[in-house]
Amino acid sequence: MSSISIGKTFTASALALAVSFGAHAVTDQDLLNDHKTVDKIVTYGMGYQGQRYSPMTTLNTSNVNYLTPAWAFSFGGEKQRGQESQPLIEDGVMYVTASYSRIWAVDARTGEQIWQYDARLPDGIMPCCDVVNRGAAIYGDMVYFGTLDAKLVALNKKTGKVVWIKTVADYQEGYAITAAPIVVDGKLITGVSGGEFGIVGKVEAYDAKTGDLLWTRPTVEGHMGYVYKDGKKIESGISGGEAGKTWPGDMWKSGGAATWLGGTYDPETDTLFFGTGNPAPWNSHLRPGDNLFSASRVAIDPNDGSIKWHFQTTPNDGWDYDGVNELIPFDLKENGKTIKAAATADRNGFFYVLNREDGSFIRGFPFVDTISWAEGLDSKTGRPIFKEGGRPGNPADLDGEKGETVVAYPAFLGGKNWMPMAYSPDTELFYVPSNEWSMDIWNEPVSYKKGAAYLGAGFTIKPANDDFIGVLRAMDPKTGKEVWRQNNSAPLWGGAMTTAGGLVFTGTPEGFLKAFDAKTGEELWKFNTGSGVVGTPVTWEMDGEQYVSVASGWGGAVPLWGGEVARVVRDFNQGGMVWTFKLPQDRVSAK
């Protein structure tokens, strides 16, 4: 498929809106304060740290049941699948991306379109896990997003006109960009997708104004990192270790470790946190060793791309558990001390609490009901204690085309996948959209071929229970205890948000946006959007009223890769809209 590249307005009123709105230049201070401000959302994650917490209390547990639709905006056309975006709101304008690398500017008061831009995609794009786009970035007078053919696009945020386009990687090798970029100190920073095609993951920084490449940091050991000055390439920081040190032979050259979810940023330590995906191929017997820096959280200096520290969650990953899930900085208060901590809920089923200054392991614990591949975590290092017989077998042992099959919990789509969790400093709990499923998995022989799937494994995913798959959990990072849970019949695939009003919002594939009591988990409100919600909700204040928005449109990896689970969701309707709700003025004072 291909599309026309456009940046246009459609009506006289839209032209007027483009002039009156979007005039404010977004500054570094705006980005730094995003988690504190309520009249705008200018970062993916509602703040650099990605806590997805709003300090607003207008909407609360007492009046959320009066939340009412304000407007809905359709993404239109036939491209209605996998709407995983998080909207941004600034100066009365919503910027929202959609499937097939599209982006809109919409009047946040009325839902009227201001402009639309569709990327010109070639026929040969190779997204492994649907044609999704998770969001944009704003800086200065520009808005930025990545495309499925691995480009970064900078647009004038008032008009939608192209300012510059840069190629980040070769889509014909399997690269793509699905995550929202992040801007730190004038640098536009992005990761890449494509781990199932034997690409080499990387994080790169570009000058936000010009698009010039500033530094590149590959995430497979053996590949060098570089900074670029005056047109010259200079080796930067940690080189990535010796080639072959934790990889056999030349397998590091196509080692995966894609940075496909993007990153968070901690201003206190001036550190970027990116997760890295699965090593390639899935058949772990072909690549004995830890396979650094795959399935890891990597702390990166935003100034030159050098690695400060790393923490690997699944060494020699043999289940496609990745390690890409967001690492969220937070202050851990215990034993009379405040620790600069960070937390992540891994696809492998374990929740990790780390010291974000040095990456040291504080604690880890299961957040799903069943884990079959590991006995637990080493109490000092956090390294998994592999369970005997938990790894899919080596085809060479059977002298055949297929190794011994094992049943693994969780399935490769993870205890938690891409869908971001939220953290409330009020309750000191993390709210984790998660899933309970297993898989039959076996290994097969495979060899690398540019642009071809590089798995070396087969699998079938199955529900772990008869009556539910998805679970929204409230997890205590101090004790490892599950404080409350809400089961959902279909898998959860959308992000969570929490507020100072004592609320937690998330969506379901059945089409509902739901609100829960952050302390008890009681369901307080729901609204059916007409298609599965796999986006991430946001909330903001405008004209003295509190609004909530979420993208709706079923898709993503579950219907593509879900095996027996796909039967649970096969009748769900696709869609493509962003819904916006607000609390009526006469309900604001309700207590």
Query: DSSP assignment, residue 284?
Result: G
Does residue 15 have a pLDDT over 80?
no
For residue 541, is pLDDT > 90?
A: yes
Instruction: Round to whole Å and give the CA distance between 425 and 498.
Output: 10
Residue 503 β-bridge partners: 517
Rounded to 5 degrees, φ, ψ at 563 are 55, -130
Per the CB < 8 A criterion, the answer to whether 476 and 428 are in contact is yes
Distance in angstroms (rounded) separating the CA atoms of residues 518 and 473: 10
Instruction: Summarize the confidence of residues 405-432 as an average pLDDT.
Output: 98
Residue 538 vs residues 433, 501, 549: alpha-carbon distances, Å: 16, 14, 5
With bands split at pLDDT 50, 70 and 90, how would you rate the model's confidence at 5?
A: very low
pLDDT at residue 36 greater than cutoff 50: yes
pLDDT tens-digit readout, 308-360: 999 999 999 999 999 999 999 999 999 999 999 999 999 999 999 999 999 99
The rounded distance, in Å, linking the Cα atoms of 132 and 149 is 12
pTM for the whole thing? 0.96
Whether 554 shows a pLDDT value over 80: the answer reads yes
Sequence ranges of the domains in the chain: 12-53+83-587
Phi-psi region of 264 (alpha: psi -120 to 50; beta: other; left: phi over 0): beta
Beta pairing class for 307-312 and 328-334: unpaired
What is the DSSP secondary-structure string of 17-76?
HHHHSS-SPBPHHHHHTTTT-SS-B-STTSSTT---EE---SS-TTTGGG-EEEEEEE--
DSSP state of 367: -
- From the list 551, 541, 529, 538, the residue with the least C-alpha distance to 585 is 541
Say which residues have a Cβ less than 8 Å from residue 382's Cβ, sequence separation at least 6.
Answer: 311, 313, 352, 354, 361, 364
Is the confidence at residue 6, as pLDDT, over 60?
Answer: no
Whether residue 582 is predicted with pLDDT greater than 70 in this model: the reply is yes
Average pLDDT of the chain, as a whole number: 94
What strand order describes the sheet that includes 271-275? 263-266, 271-275, 296-300, 307-312
Predicted pLDDT of residue 17: 52
β-partners of residue 557 are none
Query: pLDDT-based confidence at 440, cuts 50/70/90?
Result: very high
Residue-level pLDDT at 77: 75
Q: Among 5-14, 49-58, 63-72, 576-585, where is mean pLDDT lowest?
A: 5-14
Give me 279's structure tokens: 């090593």
Q: What is the tens place of the pLDDT at every residue in 74-94?
A: 998 777 789 999 999 999 999
Which region among 123-127, 273-277, 353-357 has the lowest average model confidence (pLDDT)?
Answer: 123-127
Catalytic positions, please?
A: 320
- CA-to-CA separations, 571 to 75, 499, 508, 563, in angstroms, rounded: 21, 33, 14, 15
Task: Look at residue 398 in the predicted model and tell me its pLDDT.
Answer: 85
Reported as a pLDDT band with limits 50, 70 and 90, residue 1 is very low
Give the mean pLDDT of 135-139: 98
Q: Is the pLDDT of residue 392 over 80?
A: yes
Confidence band of 65 (pLDDT split at 50, 70, 90): very high
DSSP for 235-277 reads: E-S---S-TTSSS-TTGGGG-B---TT-EEEETTTTEEEEE--
187: nearest Cα among 228, 234, 221: 228
The pLDDT, as a whole number, for residue 509 is 97
pLDDT of 4 higher than 50: no
Please write the tens of the pLDDT for every residue from 471-500: 999 999 999 999 999 999 999 999 999 999
322 near 315, Cβ under 8 Å? no
pLDDT computed for residue 238 by the predictor: 61
Confidence of residue 562 (pLDDT cuts 50, 70, 90): confident
Provide, rounded to the nearest whole percent, the portion of the chain with pLDDT above 70.
Answer: 95
Query: Quick one: which of 199, 440, 352 has its CA closest to 341?
Result: 352
Fold of 12-53+83-587: Methanol Dehydrogenase; Chain A (2.140.10)
Q: What is the pLDDT of residue 195?
A: 93
In Å, how far from its chain's centre is CA 434? 14
pLDDT in tens, 141-155: 999 999 999 999 999
Q: What is the pLDDT of residues 198-235, one digit of tens each?
A: 999 999 999 999 999 999 999 999 999 999 988 889 88
Q: What is the 3-state secondary structure (H, E, C) of 158-211?
A: CCCCEEEEEECCCHHHCCECCCCCEEECCEEEECCECHHHCCECEEEEEECCCC
